[in-house]
Structure 1
Amino acid sequence: MLKKTLTALFLMFISIAQGQEISINSSLLTGSWAANWITHPAAAQRAYGVYHFRKHFELSQLPASFIVQVSADNRYRLFVNGAAVCSGPARGDLFNWYFETIDLAPYLKVGKNTIAALVWNMGELAPVAQISNQTGFLLQGNTAKEAIVNTNSSWLVLQNKAYSPTSLDNRERLQAYMVVGPGDQVDGKQYPWGWEKNGYDDQAWLAAKPISDSVPIGYGTDNLWTMAPRTIPLFKESMTRFPSIRRTNGISVPDGFLSGKMPFLIPAHQSLKVLFDHQVACVAYPELLLSAGKGAKIKLTYAEALFDQDRQKGNRNEIEGKEILGNYDVFIADGGQERLFRPLWWRAYRYVEMEISTRDEPLLVHDFYGQSTGYPLTLKASFESSDPSLKKIWETGWRTAALCAGELYYDTPYYEQLQYTGDSRIQALISLYLSGDDRLMRKAITDFYHSRTPEGLTQGRYPSNRLQIIPTFSLFWVSMVHDYWMHRKDDAFVKQFLPAIAEIMSWYENRIQKDKGMLGPMKWWNFVDWDNFNDWGVAPGAEQGNSSIISLQCAYTMKQAATLFNAFGKKDDAEALFAAANELNYGTYQRCFNAEKGLIADTPEKLSYSQHAGIWAVLSGAVRQDAARNLMSKLLHTSGIGQVTFFYRFYLVQAMKRAGMANQYMEQLEPWRHMLDMGLTTFAEKPEPTRSDCHAWSASPNYDFLATICGIMPAAPGFRKVNIAPALGSLSWIKASMPHPNGMIYLELQKTQQGKGIKGKIELPEKLSGTFYWEGMEIELHEGKQVIQL
Structure 2
Amino acid sequence: MSKEWTAQWIWGGEEESPRNEWRCFRRTFEVSDNPGETQLRISADSRYVLYINGSQVGRGPVRSWAKEQFYDTYEVGHLLKAGQPNTIAVLVMHFGVANFYYILGRGGLIAELSSKQADGSTGTLLVATDESWKTSRLEAHDPSSPRMACQQGFADIYDARNWDENWNRDGYDDSAWQPVHSIGAVGSGPWKKLVPRDIPFLTEEKMMPSRIESFQWVKTPAWTGAFDLRAAFVPGTKTHADNTAYSGYLATLLVLKQSAKVTLGFAGGLRTENVFVDGKRCADWYGTLPERFSDLQLDAGEHLLLVDISASDHGGSYHIAVDSEEAFELRYPVGGDAAGATPFAMVGPFDTVVNVTYKGVRSLNLTEQKYLAAAGIKNAQELEAFKEWVQPLSAAYYNEQDVLGANMWRTEAIRANVTTQMEQGIIASPEPALIPVSAEGYDSELVIDFGKEWSGFIGFEVEAEAGTIIDLYGLEYMNGEYRQHTYGLDNTIRYICREGRQQYLSPVRRGFRHLILTVRGASKPVKLYDVYVNQSNYPVTEAGAFQSSDPLLNQIWEISRHTTRLCMEDTFVDCPAYEQVFWVGDSRNEALVNFYVYGSLDIVKRCLNLVPGSADITPLYLDQVPSAWNSVIPNWTFFWAIACAEYVEHTGDKVYAAEIWPAVRHTLEHYLTHIDDSGLLNIKGWNLLDWAPMDQPDDGIVTHQNMFLYKTLRKADELAAAAGEAKGLFQDAADSLHAAINNRLWDEQQEAYLDCIHPDGRRSDIFSMQTQVVANLCHIAEGARKEKVAAYLVQPPKSFVQIGSPFMSFFYYEALSQAGHYELMLEDIRTNYGQMIEHDATTCWEMYPNFAENRASADMLTRSHCHAWSAAPGYFLGESILGVKRVEDGWRRAAIAPQPCGLTWAKGKVPLPQGGRIEVEWRVERSILKLDVTAPEEVELDIVIPEGLTGEVHIVKTKENVSVAHV
The 5 Å alignment of 1:333-348 reads: 333-335=497-499, 337-348=500-511
For 2:940, give the aligned amino acid.
S
Is 1:591 aligned to residue 744 of structure 2?
Answer: yes
Offset at residue 41 of structure 1 (A): 4.5
Q: Which residue of 1 aligns with 2:379?
A: none
Q: Report if aligned partners of 1:380, 1:434 keep a CA contact under 8 Å in 2.
A: yes
The 5 Å alignment of 1:214-293 reads: 214=186, 220=187, 224-250=191-217, 254-258=422-426, 259-263=428-432, 264=434, 266-267=436-437, 271-293=443-465
Q: Which residue of 2 aligns with 1:382?
A: 545
Q: Report if aligned partners of 1:711, 1:727 keep a CA contact under 8 Å in 2.
A: yes
Is 1:81 aligned to residue 53 of structure 2?
Answer: yes
Is 1:666 aligned to residue 666 of structure 2?
Answer: no
Provide the secondary structure at the position in 1 that maps to 2:167.
Answer: coil
Q: Which residue of 2 aligns with 1:450?
A: 613
Q: Which residue of 2 aligns with 1:148?
A: 126
Is 1:610 aligned to residue 756 of structure 2?
Answer: no
Offset at residue 146 of structure 1 (A): 4.9
Could you list the per-position Cα deviations for residues 514-547 of structure 1 after superposition, in whole angstroms to 9, with x for gaps in the alignment? 5x4432x21221111111225xxxx25x6223x3
CA distance in 2, matches of 1:549, 1:732: 38
The 5 Å alignment of 1:593-672 reads: 593-594=746-747, 597-603=750-756, 605=763, 607-624=765-782, 628=786, 630-637=788-795, 638-644=797-803, 645-669=805-829, 670-672=831-833
Q: Which residue of 1 aligns with 2:85?
A: 112
CA distance in 2, matches of 1:737, 1:625: 39
Q: Which residue of 1 aligns with 2:363?
A: none
Q: Is 357-366 or 411-420 further displaced after alignment?
A: 357-366
Q: Report if aligned partners of 2:560, 2:871 keep a CA contact under 8 Å in 1.
A: yes
Offset at residue 380 of structure 1 (A): 0.6
Offset at residue 142 of structure 1 (A): 4.5
Normalized against structure 1, the TM-score is what? 0.86
Q: Report if aligned partners of 2:703, 2:754 keep a CA contact under 8 Å in 1.
A: yes
CA distance in 1, matches of 2:662, 2:786: 33
Cα 1:347/1:727, change in 2 over 3 Å: same
Could you list the per-position Cα deviations for residues 287-317 of structure 1 after superposition, in whole angstroms to 9, with x for gaps in the alignment? 12122411111211111124xxxxxxxxxxx
Cα 1:718/1:286, change in 2 over 3 Å: same
- In terms of fraction of residues, the more strand-rich structure is 2
Q: Report if aligned partners of 1:294, 1:359 keep a CA contact under 8 Å in 2.
A: no
Q: Which residue of 1 aligns with 2:706?
A: 551
Determine which of 143, 146, 157 is the counterpart of 1:185.
Answer: 157
Q: Which residue of 1 aligns with 2:846?
A: 685
CA distance in 2, matches of 1:782, 1:552: 42
CA distance in 1, matches of 2:902, 2:863: 33
Determine which of 921, 925, 938 is the counterpart of 1:767.
Answer: 938
CA distance in 2, matches of 1:658, 1:359: 62
Q: Report if aligned partners of 2:63, 2:626 keep a CA contact under 8 Å in 1.
A: yes
Q: Report if aligned partners of 1:66, 1:146 keep a CA contact under 8 Å in 2.
A: no
Cα 1:379/1:598, change in 2 over 3 Å: farther
* Unmatched runs of 5 consecutive residues or more in structure 2: 116-121, 218-415, 758-762, 850-854, 856-861
Q: Report if aligned partners of 2:8, 2:130 keep a CA contact under 8 Å in 1.
A: yes
For 1:602, give the aligned amino acid.
D
Provide the secondary structure at the position in 1 that maps to 2:718.
Answer: helix
Could you list the per-position Cα deviations for residues 693-720 of structure 1 after superposition, in whole angstroms to 9, with x for gaps in the alignment? 1100111110111112123222222222
Provide the secondary structure at the position in 1 that maps to 2:872.
Answer: helix
CA distance in 1, matches of 2:897, 2:735: 28
Q: Is 130-139 or 505-514 further displaced after alignment?
A: 505-514
The 5 Å alignment of 1:215-614 reads: 220=187, 224-250=191-217, 254-258=422-426, 259-263=428-432, 264=434, 266-267=436-437, 271-306=443-478, 318-322=479-483, 324=485, 326-335=490-499, 337-359=500-522, 363-453=526-616, 455-513=618-676, 516-519=678-681, 521-533=682-694, 539=696, 543-545=699-701, 547-571=702-726, 574-594=727-747, 597-603=750-756, 605=763, 607-614=765-772
Offset at residue 435 of structure 1 (A): 1.3
CA distance in 2, matches of 1:583, 1:192: 69
Provide the secondary structure at the position in 2 that maps to 1:279.
Answer: strand
For 2:625, give the aligned amino acid.
Y
Could you list the per-position Cα deviations for residues 241-277 of structure 1 after superposition, in whole angstroms to 9, with x for gaps in the alignment? 1111111124855232112522225449773111111
Provide the secondary structure at the position in 2 that maps to 1:140.
Answer: strand
CA distance in 1, matches of 2:140, 2:934: 60
Cα 1:606/1:87, change in 2 over 3 Å: closer
- Count of residues in correspondence between the two structures: 725
* Unmatched runs of 5 consecutive residues or more in structure 1: 1-24, 172-177, 215-219, 307-317
Cα 1:296/1:476, change in 2 over 3 Å: same
Offset at residue 82 of structure 1 (A): 0.9
For 1:732, give the aligned amino acid.
T
List structure 1 segments (4+ residues) > 6 angstroms apart after TM superposition.
Answer: 776-782, 785-789
CA distance in 2, matches of 1:548, 1:42: 53
CA distance in 1, matches of 2:777, 2:954: 27
Q: Is 158-167 or 559-568 further displaced after alignment?
A: 158-167
Cα 1:641/1:780, change in 2 over 3 Å: farther
Offset at residue 598 of structure 1 (A): 4.3
Provide the secondary structure at the position in 2 that maps to 1:588.
Answer: helix
Cα 1:457/1:664, change in 2 over 3 Å: same
Provide the alpha-carbon RMSD of the alignment: 2.7
For 2:789, give the aligned amino acid.
L
Offset at residue 324 of structure 1 (A): 4.9
Normalized against structure 2, the TM-score is what? 0.71
Larger Cα-atom Rg: 2
Identical columns (%) = 25
Provide the secondary structure at the position in 2 that maps to 1:563.
Answer: helix
CA distance in 2, matches of 1:426, 1:231: 21
Q: Which residue of 2 aligns with 1:730?
A: 902
Provide the secondary structure at the position in 2 that maps to 1:734.
Answer: strand
